[in-house]
Amino acid sequence: MGIKNLYPDEDVDSTYEIDYQSFYEQGYRGILFDVDNTHVEDDEPATISAIELFNRLREMGFRTCIISNNIEERVRPLATALETEYVHKAGKPSSKGFKKGIEKMGTTPETTLFVGDQIFTDIWGANKAGVHSILVKQIAKHEEIQIVLKRYLERLVLHRYRKWKKNGIGSGKEEKEN
């Protein structure tokens, strides 16, 4: 695994700041989302903002699916509130859960986006699945110790990613694979 396989195609501050209409116009039709710390804080219910976003995405014509490593008892109530498909115990960063989500939406890797907050599970898995990856900043600042440790390593990867991006190389999939 080269470090560039950990680089997102894009990074933004929040799930709620992404220009989804632009992606729809580019031909994307499905969006896979991580949930905890991407849409809501860990173990919190769906928020009004998340529900409104999913409603807006459906109105645009997107299919959506939550993909989470969490258990079904956590993921199902969120998916129900957001009226979306879901994959629980996805095994990220394995591409298997991503492929299952793509199948549920009836899209292809080329017409699917992924939005998540962690590099070593979310972004790496999306990249392995051939899906356009968007990294967002985590919502909660208080996390379990194993996540805190991963965040430290993520900062190192993000530093290299931003340096790579700043040097004008960009972050397209073709360049990452070289």
pLDDT of residue 42: 72
102 contacts: CB under 8 Å, gap ≥ 6: 30, 32, 65, 108, 109, 112, 129, 131
Query: Looking at residues 55-84, what average pLDDT do you find?
Result: 96
Number of separate domains in the chain: 1
Q: Which amino acid is at 35?
A: V
Domain of 164 in residue numbering reads as 3-177
Q: pTM for the whole thing?
A: 0.81
Q: Which CATH number does the domain housing residue 144 bear?
A: 3.40.50.1000
What is d(CA 103, CA 71) in angstroms, rounded to the nearest whole number? Answer: 20
pLDDT digits (tens, 9 = 90+) for 109-150: 999 999 999 888 899 999 999 999 999 988 866 555 555 566
